[in-house]
Amino acid sequence: MKFLDEYRDEALAQKIVDEIRRVVTKPWVLMEVCGGQTHTIVKYGIDRLLPDEIELVHGPGCPVCVTPLEMIDKAHTIAQRPDVIFCSFGDMLRVPGSDADLLVLKSRGADIRVVYSPIDCLKIARANPEKKVVFFAIGFETTAPANAMSVWQARKQRINNFSILVSHVLVPPAIGSILQSPLNRVQGFLGPGHVCTIMGYREYEPIAERFRVPIVITGFEPTDILQGALMAIQQLEAGTHEVQNQYMRVVQRDGNSVAQSLVNEVFEVCDRKWRGVGSIPKSGYRLRHEFHEYDAELLFDVKEIDTQESSTCISGLVLRGVKKPQDCPAFGKQCTPEHPLGATMVSAEGACAAYYAYGRHLQATNAPRNS
């Protein structure tokens, strides 16, 4: 397929792997920030192509994984109301709350729908004027413009039975939090290509400078990931710490200014809890006061819900690259893709889910590998 197959080319991939082998002289720990990048790494077996010196740590960029339990409980409280049609991205449906997941709530009679775009919810709202349509607005800066647009359009079209439950998080504060941790092992980052498509990459420059880490804004196809890794390794070997743009065909330094201004019109920056990590200052978005009539958290009076997370689950440490999934006592035992304790076992992008499938293979073959 045009514009995709070129980036999935075996010969090109092998050429980049050979170059990585040529330049690497010592062990390096790289973190790919995005869940989509993790997915590509697992799907194409990229970690098994890289030399043993390179360890890839799966970062906190799976929006499903980092949505805090209390926000999921809030979503479930709203979704169970008989007057509500609750809309969500697909992979959020299996994330367990304190009691159940959205699939179970659906089996108990809740009206829960998978949408590909929040704009689809406006159609649902128009078709069901007697119902309140709520969209679970999760994600990073990438999904923020479309989520903002849904609210902006709802106001413009005078749709007053639509609201969003906002659990938006931002990448740069999370990277800062990882780098400030005394347990940090990450030496270089594959930066979030789609987030930077919207936001540009100026805000990563002070991070690279302050913590002296290379950050390579990287795409999502296999050769993107490999090239991003090569660029980061070249910097590490040379002792530089710049922000580089591997994903040049999509990302510009200033990003998409139209999308940014829409996001700024609808959302404002706030402190946010991250699942397993805790609260990070100025790490998320909430609706601005002018858009409070679309804020499901206020409309359905769920602000007071405050849930504690499982004490067994170490997803927070996994998300920060401090621990590996196998280090968790519940991994593969109480916690499996069928019955995830934490969200890193739920999404195909989650580190624990990826290791679960991979680990079964390791048991079967005993093939040694570092990640």
Partner 1 sequence: MHPETVNVDVGALLGACPLPLTDYKQIVLAHGSGGRLSHQLIQKIVLPQFRNQFLDPLHDGAIFRLGETRVAFTADSYVVSPIFFPGGDIGSLSIHGTINDLAMCGARPLYLSASFILEEGLPMEDFWRIVQSMHAAADAAGVNLVTGDTKVVDRGKADKIFINTSGVGVVPSGINIDPARAQVGDKIIISGPVAVHGIAIMSVREGLEFETEIASDTAALNTLVDAMLATKTDIHVLRDPTRGGVTSALSEIAQSARVGMLLNEARIPISEEVKGACEILGLDPLYVANEGKLLAIVSARDIDPVLSAVKSHPLGQQAAVIGEVTRDHPGLVMMKTRIGGTRVVDMLSGEQLPRIC
Choose, by CB under 8 A, the member of 184, 269, 358, 371 that binds partner 1.
Answer: 358
Range 140-169, binding partner 1 (CB under 8 A):
140, 142-143
Choose, by CB under 8 A, the member of 58, 74, 76, 94 that binds partner 1.
Answer: 94
Binding segment toward partner 1, per CB under 8 A, in 79-87, 172-180, 197-205, 344-352: 344-352
Q: Give the residues across from 274 on adjacent strands.
A: 278
Q: 235 is written with which tokens?
A: 């910097």
Choose, by CB under 8 A, the member of 129, 261, 360, 370 that binds partner 1.
Answer: 360
Residue 32 CB, shortest distance to partner 1, in Å, is 13
Told to check if 191 binds partner 1 by CB under 8 A, we report no
Site string for partner 1, 324-343 (x = CB under 8 A): ----------x--xxx----
Told to check if 116 binds partner 1 by CB under 8 A, we report yes
Residue 56 CB, shortest distance to partner 1, in Å, is 12
Choose, by CB under 8 A, the member of 104, 269, 270, 299 that binds partner 1.
Answer: 104
Choose, by CB under 8 A, the member of 81, 106, 131, 323 that binds partner 1.
Answer: 106
Binding segment toward partner 1, per CB under 8 A, in 98-106, 148-156, 255-263, 288-296: 98-106
Told to check if 63 binds partner 1 by CB under 8 A, we report yes
Told to check if 107 binds partner 1 by CB under 8 A, we report yes
Q: Of 4 and 311, which has the nearer Cβ to partner 1?
A: 4
Told to check if 49 binds partner 1 by CB under 8 A, we report yes
Q: Order of strands across the sheet with 215-218?
A: 54-61, 28-34, 188-192, 215-218, 243-245
Residue 239 CB, shortest distance to partner 1, in Å, is 30
Told to check if 4 binds partner 1 by CB under 8 A, we report yes
Binding segment toward partner 1, per CB under 8 A, in 250-258, 301-309, 322-330, 361-369: 361-369
Which residues bind to partner 1, rule: CB under 8 A?
1, 4, 8-10, 13-14, 34-36, 39, 42-49, 62-64, 89-94, 103-104, 106-108, 114, 116, 138-140, 142-143, 194, 222-223, 334, 337-339, 347-349, 357-358, 360-361, 364-365
